[in-house]
Amino acid sequence: MNLPQGGQPPFCETPHWDEILGVIELSMTLQVMGAVIGAPGVGKTMAFKHYLTRNKRARYVSASPANAHPREALAMVAEAFGHNIHDTRGISRRYQIVRRMMLSGDVDVILIDEAQHLTDRSLDLIRTIWDTTGVPIVFAGNHSLRERVDVYGEGAFVQFASRIGPKSTIEAVDPRAVETVARQRGVTDKAAIKWLQSACPMKGGLRLLDRLISTARLRDQERALGVDELAQSALVLGEGA
């Protein structure tokens, strides 16, 4: 299979993409915050990045331990607008700068990936910005984010959780998604697809699927991929599938 420039395979629209797109679009329609909770490798990041190609007024950032705390989290959101405020001292000043950016009218939705890295205070700070601007925000993260989203009654996350509207929880990769992506990557053998459907959902999802196929292609560019070739790739990658 010929890859596009940059070596990345083209985006493949799967049932998970449809689900994530639904959360984004409904969050925009309702002007609320949304959340996508998913196991590793179900396609959350790829879906967010693909959405950017459809909506030029969407903004995307990915959280990390480096911007987990409020000051750095505000700088991260500013980067979604192409601004560097790392030299701006004082959390209050950073807060007002980010708030003005969001009120500029130049954004439809903010997509915050890997949101599980953000501290409780950071999430609540972003929530207060949404309270005063109404700009839709959609968070994506792993199952540790769900502890902040699925909160009822009284608790540390109630203010944040109560603002979450559309929500999707993807526990594992859908076998239909595995087949769709595998066929797009050039795997047509039914037994091979069935093997991937068994191996990938519990061991890294679509991310593992890409690695297995790419490794097999490196070993033999011309040969059609079957179970033997994929199993050999699994051994090379240390997956033992």
The residues that bridge with 37 in the sheet, in sequence order, are 141, 169
Helices 227-236 & 190-199 angle (0-180, nearest 10) = 30
Residue 72 binned pLDDT confidence (cut-offs 50, 70, 90): very high
Residue 1 binned pLDDT confidence (cut-offs 50, 70, 90): very low
Q: What is the pLDDT of residue 35?
A: 96
d(CA 104, CA 98): 10
What residues have CB less than 8 Å from 174, skipping those under 6 apart?
Answer: 14, 15, 16
* Share above pLDDT 90 across residues of the chain, in percent, rounded to a whole number: 56
Q: What is the pLDDT of residue 100?
A: 93
pLDDT tens sequence across 37-67 = 998 888 999 999 999 999 999 999 999 999 9
**What's the mean pLDDT when you consider all of the chain?**
88
**b/e map of 44-72 (b: 16 or more CB within 10 Å)?**
bbbbbebbeeeeeebbbbbbeeebbebbb
Q: Look up the pTM and report it.
A: 0.85
pLDDT tens sequence across 202-215 = 667 888 888 899 88
Superfamily of domain 15-170: P-loop containing nucleotide triphosphate hydrolases (3.40.50.300)
Residue with tokens 């560019």: 221
d(CA 226, CA 241): 14
* Structural domain boundaries in the chain: 15-170, 175-236
pLDDT tens sequence across 149-168 = 876 545 556 788 888 999 99
- Is residue 184 classed as helix, strand or coil in its secondary structure? helix
Whether the predicted pLDDT of 8 surpasses 70: no
Whether the predicted pLDDT of 3 surpasses 50: no
Task: Enter the CATH code of domain 175-236.
Answer: 1.10.8
Q: What is the pLDDT of residue 185?
A: 87
Q: What is the pLDDT of residue 64?
A: 96
